Amino acid sequence: MILVVGGASSGKSAFALQLAGEKARRAFIATAQPLDAEMDERIRRHRTLRGPSWETAEVPLKLAKWFRANETAYDSIVVDCVTLWLSNLRERRVPDSRVPGLVAKLIHAMRMTTARVLVVSNELGGGVVPMEPEARRFRDLAGRVNQQFAKEADEVYVVMTGLPIRLKPKERG
């Protein structure tokens, strides 16, 4: 599993798609939900950029179930993004205390697939401290979830201004 993190519009999704390569059977797992016109346009634009060679599945909540159902169906799978998945869980009133267990089940399901799995997530901890307590709790939860994925990932990259930096494993030399 490969984790790609970065800020908003940092180039992390494009980098993950590049890492996925030109495999024959590629899936893009979108966790975004088109809740308004702007998000609908963003989803459409991203789908156009991927092109027709990517099969897109919209999976806002049950990611582990999707992976279990598709263990051998793909060569490369990009999940974009964990942060929106967390937002979707919150919207469904899933308690924060349940999230680490859900993440562990998801990581296990990802490990069971034969595909190269790339996970995209937002790095929310690099900005100012949010004013609202709920926003601080979400930022902290997202940070803990990113750490959970990073610990289990074979490779971890951070993308800043379109430039990927490999964090794990460390470059030699």
Q: Is residue 172 part of a domain?
A: no
Q: What is the pLDDT, as a whole number, of residue 22?
A: 85
Split at pLDDT 50, 70, 90, the class of 172 is low
Q: Is residue 173 part of a domain?
A: no
Euclidean distance between CA atoms 158 and 12, whole angstroms: 8
108 included as an active-site residue:
no
Q: 109 or 130: whose pLDDT is higher?
A: 109
Reported as a single tens digit per residue, the pLDDT across 23-62 is 789 999 999 887 788 888 887 887 888 888 899 999 999 9
Identify residue 131 by its one-letter amino acid code. M
CA-to-CA separations, 43 to 31, 48, 56, in angstroms, rounded: 10, 9, 11
Q: What is the pLDDT, as a whole number, of residue 78?
A: 97
Task: Please check whether residue 68 is in contact with residue 109, taking contact to mean a CB–CB distance below 8 angstroms.
Answer: yes
Q: What is the pLDDT, as a whole number, of residue 2?
A: 98
Q: Is residue 25 part of a domain?
A: yes
Euclidean distance between CA atoms 1 and 29, whole angstroms: 15
Count structural domains, the chain.
1
Q: Is residue 63 part of a domain?
A: yes
What CATH number does the domain containing 39 carry?
3.40.50.300
- What is the rounded average pLDDT of the residues 116-137? 93
Q: Which of 25, 46, 47, 139 is catalytic?
A: 46
Split at pLDDT 50, 70, 90, the class of 108 is very high
- What is the rounded average pLDDT of the residues 65-87? 97
Domain that holds residue 6: 2-167
Reported as a single tens digit per residue, the pLDDT across 77-104 is 999 999 999 999 999 999 999 999 999 9
Q: What is the pLDDT, as a whole number, of residue 24?
A: 82
Split at pLDDT 50, 70, 90, the class of 173 is low
Strand 116-122 and strand 2-6: the pairing is parallel
Euclidean distance between CA atoms 155 and 142, whole angstroms: 19
